[in-house]
Structure 1
Amino acid sequence: MKNEYDVVVVGSGAGAFMSALSAANLGASVLVVEKGGLWGGTSAKSGGGLWVPNNRNISRAGVSDSSEEAFEYMRGVIPAGEVDDATIMNYIEYSLKMLNFLEAQTELSYTPIPGYADYYPGVEGWKPGGRTVDPSSVDGRKLGEMLYKLVDSPPASKALSVFSMSVSEAVQILTRMPGWKRTCLRVFWGYLTDIPGRLKGRRDRHLAQGNALLSALYLSCKAKGVELVLETPVVSLVESGGRVNGIVVEGGKRIAAGKGVVIAAGGFEHNQETREANLPMPTSAASSSGVETNTGDLIAAAEKLGATTGMMHDAWWTPTVMTPSGPAVLFSEKSKPGLIIVDKMGQRFMNESITYNSYGDCFYRACKEGKDVFPAYCIFDSHYRKKYMFAGLVQAELSPDFMNRAMIGEGKMLIKARSIKEISQKIGVDYEGLKSTMTKVRTYAEAGVDQDFGRGGDDHDVMYGDPEVKPNACLGPMTEGPYYAAELLLGDLGTKGGLEINHDGQVMNEKGGVIDGLYAVGNSTSSIMGSKYPGAGCTLGPAMAIGFKAGHHAMGKPI
């Protein structure tokens, strides 16, 4: 690590490496500084998908699109008081250019995912798939020992918690689309035949999802001379002459940045004090799926220089359960037939299949209405357990309960009981309320209509339902014991609040101007998606589009 670079990037996620690659491609000397001992950030734990409307390959998903339709959809989803029209148009235009740059400068190719629908059906401009694009895989052997310093994908995102699979493969397997068993076999075979990899350990060297994205970015950055240093916390920003021109790292070393500093250090999800000062209550850092180094340090450092913040009250909310390996998000599990979510009185309080980000609104609204939902409970029957995965626990037809004693039993992730009455007693939920709820759900499943919350009534809901279940892919009668229950927490993928930026990623000051030399991207910024989540990839997409622009702007080069 030298004393001076053109650009210094703080953080090592997708937005960070895109900023670095963008600047390095223009000849910049770039340093990427990571606080922790692992690199990749929360981006490495993600699905790696990007939400890019009107991408050049969208027709492969059987979808036509346009910038006008994308704007109409985003404007219809995101409240006007949160994000202005120009910001939306900026994203639509430059996400396309970013994706083209990404494919040209790395080994990645991105494929639109058919059937992976936008999250708000009924809004004009909505599309049934194709806007979310899935990265190709990367051979982890190219990373050498850096593979083992890359944040690993969560077990719940892998087949049998071990085998890496792409988002497209995961969708096929989780929704049991035709050919899903063949896909499973291919994934398993690739892992088992990597004998040198197995001698090194369990980690799959066939990289997919967020691990593939970060690996490809890292390899391209390394080829252009970008340096990455780990275990180097930044303690302050250096400003002189009205411009940010460097950082100070732990131990007092000062590193100059002649062209600019990019903050890409994530949100404040693991800072309990900052959560309690900004987010609705109750709130807990323990249920966040963001990497534990995301504590908002650089947001606070920029505020000391007069930076303004926005959206500090919000997060990328998720339904979450605690597993032996930590928080697991129920992305698809919540939509499968045979599972319901109830409060302490045994009553449902929401459409379980709704987009995961909307769980925040549903939980806090229920709390305001006096319902006891912190925690809530997932309840499902043995038919669900046999057929579907749950938080990384493989379905019982492939992995029976006796093989999963670490996850099933008293005091563990899943509580098991012979009857509804027994399960209610074990988890402390009102039996009469739960029994009444189960009776209604059985009636709704038979009729195919959820008269309380409309579950399974639109394309988003059924995307992760079971197409073999009729008349409603998201509703099951729940008549087969034994029964299972899991404590359900309101978790998050990270916080949405952070530094306010302009269209080039420059950090704004309290006077409405910019702080020269200072840029920010990703969850270190106030989300340009506002309080909503238009589609899968709406966290990484903006982080990388703004990172792409920030790298160019710092170098004084137009795109």
Structure 2
Amino acid sequence: MSDTTYECDVLVVGSGAAGISAALKAKQQGLDVLVVDKEPYLGGTTAVSGGWLWVPGNKQGVAEGDTREEAETYIRALAGDSYDPDAVGAFLDLVPEALDFFENDAGVEFHYPEMAPDYQMDTPGARRSGRALTVRKADGRTLKKDRRRVQPYLHTYTVFGYMPEIGPDIATFIKANRSAKAFLYVTRRLVRTWSERILFRRAFTRTNGNALMTRMLAGAGDMGIPMWTGTKVTEVLRDERGAIGGAVITGAHSGTVRARYGVVLAAGGFSGNAALRTRAFAHDPRGDDHFTPTIGHQGDSYFLAEPHGGVLDTRPHQPASWGPVTVWKNLRGQERIFPHLRAFGLPGLIAVNREGERFANESYSYHDFGVEMIKENAGRRDTFGWIVADRKAMRTYGIGYAKPWPLPAWYYRKVGYLIQGSSVADLASRIDVPAEALRRTLEEFNADAALGRDTRFKRGSNWFHHFKGDMEHKPNPNLAPIDKAPYYAVRIQMGDLGTYAGLSVNGRGEVLAASGRGVPGLYAVGTAAVSVFGGGYPGYGANIGPAMVFGYRVGRDIAAHAAERSGGLRKAAVRDGDG
């Protein structure tokens, strides 16, 4: 290890939304901040996410009549026995102040959409709009020398390199094979993206979570916050007073960092660590039945806190925000992963179990569908299911990573992502489900779909369902018969967008030891910490909203906490006769 010593007031471990939020606010307070990240890029999982924030009490929601009581009612219903009124209250208290800082002082330009329904619209307190917001497109050139340092998009989620924005942008992309106007729109976006990549190695336009991190990292750069990539924290250190006062780092920068006011753990959750998954994920007892698209979530935050008494809080009734995925290998043998965050809601697609039967409402949110998928596979060796569609749906919408007509399907079949059958029986044979059961499932679904209803699971019965579907499809945006050969199937397995179980923290964001006392100077934010929502997933941005709000709080208060500790030590010294 190098004997180099670095000095700062605050050391932030991780460069996603949570860590950079803490860094921005701490720097605005006049503190000397250092951000380190073990990954080669900045931005973490936030940079490959949708970039939404679920933040009740924002100015749009208040203007539309949303109330704190409604938000609390909704969160309580989703959290159930895991509801933490103090944490929820703190979150709701902080939202207006935190958003005001990001918009007015940190250069984040939010977009307040007209429609972004809560995920469980039939639950008391849910609203059609006003709680979820996103960020406007960003120009990568605002990052100057750091333009190419932001984590690239998840390749499988782009359309030939371009990442459509959630909302009207992606809705237009979906119509590109049916509308000349949409086709021209998509062509312009793709040509610009390809041109910029050829000329400048990376496109300038950033969308979704990449836009959010571009704006936040540009703000950090303008403030002069150093951000070191390829730099791993291997140990968190206590100072001579017993508080956390630094860390050992290795990699691109190595040595010891002395952090006068403390260390902020924002290095993500643990869904990429098989041993911790075995402890926390009931569906993954062997540690090998789960696939995550998250970046760097190897449990670093937990392992850094554990020697100082940090404990994993597994009280949330769901230990992670679930997201079903498909995993396959490309022609080079490289593993690829595609998170299915929307496809289930489109007309002409259903999900079936290994018995060839539907088991849940496919228009549920990815998290809630994941809950049902885990229940369906309880006690089985593996957790999986199948998306089933026909020629119409495949040509119109595609199936996840498999793009629709006019693109040929041969590649997706060749790599094993897409399975095709000439008939229902043929498809059933290829995916090893009972043919007669799959036939009955389709007959029952098709009869309902033709009438625009789903008598079994009530798919397409509320605004959130419709928002996930094709709003121009009639009579129901989520339903269409599956009756035109050939038929297709895609295997889905369990994945996640971040853990809900995490380090136990107190009302200041400090890591709690098993004794119930905070570890002085050690903080956890984002998915490093236990979720405020208790295992429920309320709406778009349920991870990023709290990450930014609680990251802001730590950055705001960390100096005050250090001053309290110093004051306490001085008083004790005077009492002992040393003053």
TM norm structure 2: 0.88
* Residue 469 of structure 1, CA deviation: 3.2
Cross-structure match for 2:485:
481
- The 1:320/1:36 distance shift into structure 2, 3 A limit, reads same
Give, as a single letter, the amino acid of the residue that structure 2 aligns with 1:511. S
In structure 2, distance between residues paired with 1:384 and 1:372: 31
Please say which of residues 16-25 and 149-158 is displaced more in the overlay. 149-158
Q: Deviations over 1:357-414 (max 9, x none)?
A: 113321221123x678732111100111111143233321xx332xx533234x5111
The aligned counterpart of 2:525 is 521
Contact 1:156 1:393 in 2 (8 A): no
**Aligned length, in residue pairs:** 546
Q: Say yes or no: does 1:90 pair with 2:90.
A: yes
Are positions 1:279 and 2:288 aligned together? Answer: no
Q: Deviation string for 1:213-265 (max 9, x for gaps)?
A: 11111111111121111111111110132310001113761111001100000
**1:549 offset after TM fit, Å?**
0.3
- State the Cα deviation string for residues 480-499 of structure 1 (Å, max 9, x = none): 11111111111111222211
Higher alpha-carbon deviation: 322-331 or 108-117: 322-331
Corresponding position: 1:146 with 2:176: no
1:72-101 CA deviation, whole Å, 9 max, x = no partner?
22222222x323222112111212221111
CA distance in 2, matches of 1:228, 1:260: 17
Q: Which runs of 5+ in 2 are unaligned?
A: 564-579
For the residue of structure 2 that corresponds to 1:453, the secondary structure is coil
More off after superposition, 123-132 vs 32-41: 123-132
Contact 2:161 2:193 in 1 (8 A): no
Q: Report deviation, 1:51.
A: 1.0
SS at match of 1:276: helix
Displacement of 1:157: 4.2
**In 1, Cα distance between the equivalents of 2:87 and 2:182?**
40
Distance in 1 of aligned mates of 2:353 and 2:382? 5
Q: Name the residue aligned to 1:36.
A: 39
Offset of 1:108 from its aligned partner? 2.6
Deviation at 1:526, TM superposition (A): 0.7
Amino acid at match of 1:91: F
Distance 1:406 1:145 in 2: 38
**What's the offset of the Cα at 1:38?**
1.6
Q: Which residue in 1 is equivalent to 2:30?
A: 27
Partner of 1:362: 372
Deviation, 1:176, is 5.6
2:156 & 2:131 partners in 1: Cα distance?
Answer: 24
Match of 2:13 in 1: 10
| Structure 2 counterpart of 1:405 | 410
Higher mean C-alpha deviation, range 547-556 or range 281-290: 281-290
Counterpart Cα distance in 2 of 1:545 and 1:181: 42
Note the alpha carbon deviations across 1:12-66, whole angstroms, 9 max, x for none: 1011100100100111111101012122111100111111213113478xx4312
C-alpha contact 1:26 1:552 (8 A) present in aligned 2: yes
Q: CA deviation at 1:464?
A: 1.1
Aligned AA (2:236): L
TM-score of the superposition, structure 1-length normalised? 0.91
Letter in structure 2 aligned against 1:250 = T
CA distance in 2, matches of 1:276, 1:436: 37
Q: Quick check: 1:555 aligned with 2:565?
A: no
- Measured in 2, the distance between the counterparts of 1:470 and 1:507 equals 52
The one-letter amino acid of 1:280's match is A
* Distance across 1 between alignment mates of 2:5 and 2:485: 64
Alignment of 1:132 with 2:135, yes or no, is no
Alignment of 1:219 with 2:218, yes or no, is: yes
1:70 aligns to 2:71 (yes or no): yes
Aligned equivalents of 2:184, 2:559: Cα separation in 1: 48
Q: Deviation string for 1:495-517 (max 9, x for gaps)?
A: 22211112321111222221111
Q: What letter matches 2:558 in structure 1?
A: A
Please report the RMSD computed on the Cα atoms of aligned residues, expressed in angstroms. 2.5
The aligned counterpart of 1:377 is 386
**1:185 to 1:74, Cα distance in 2 relative to 1, 3 A:** farther
CA distance in 2 between partners of 1:49 and 1:542 (Å): 11
Q: Which residue of the partner structure matches residue 351 of structure 2?
A: 341
Q: Say which of 263, 276, 287 aligns to 2:265.
A: 263
Q: Where does residue 321 of structure 1 map in the other structure? A: 326
SS at match of 2:93: helix
Q: Secondary structure at the match of 1:7?
A: strand
3-state secondary structure, aligned to 1:358? helix
Q: CA deviation at 1:415?
A: 1.1
Q: Which amino acid aligns with 1:114?
A: E
| Aligned-partner residue type, residue 407 of structure 2 | P
CA distance in 1, matches of 2:248, 2:418: 46
- The answer on whether the counterparts of 2:57 and 2:95 sit within 8 Å (CA) in structure 1 is no
Cα contact 2:137–2:206 (8 A) shared by 1: yes
What letter matches 2:120 in structure 1? Answer: Y
Larger radius of gyration: 2
Instruction: Output the amino acid matched with 2:225.
Output: V
Matches within 5 A, 1:79-228: 79=80, 81-144=81-144, 146-158=146-158, 160-170=159-169, 172-173=171-172, 182=181, 185-186=184-185, 188-193=187-192, 197-200=196-199, 203-228=202-227
Task: Give the Å deviation of 1:144.
Answer: 4.1
* Amino acid corresponding to residue 269 of structure 1 in structure 2: S
One-letter code of the match for 2:36?
V
Paired residues of 2:342 and 2:366 also in contact (CA < 8 A): no
The 10-residue stretch of structure 1 (352-361 or 312-321) with the greater mean CA deviation from structure 2: 312-321
Structure 1 portions without partners, runs of 5+: none
Offset from partner CA, 1:153-201 (integer Å, 9 cap, x none): 224543x232233223345337769x99756644642552468623246
* One-letter amino acid of the counterpart of residue 403, structure 2: V
Write the distance in 1 (CA, Å) between the matches of 2:182 and 2:5: 47
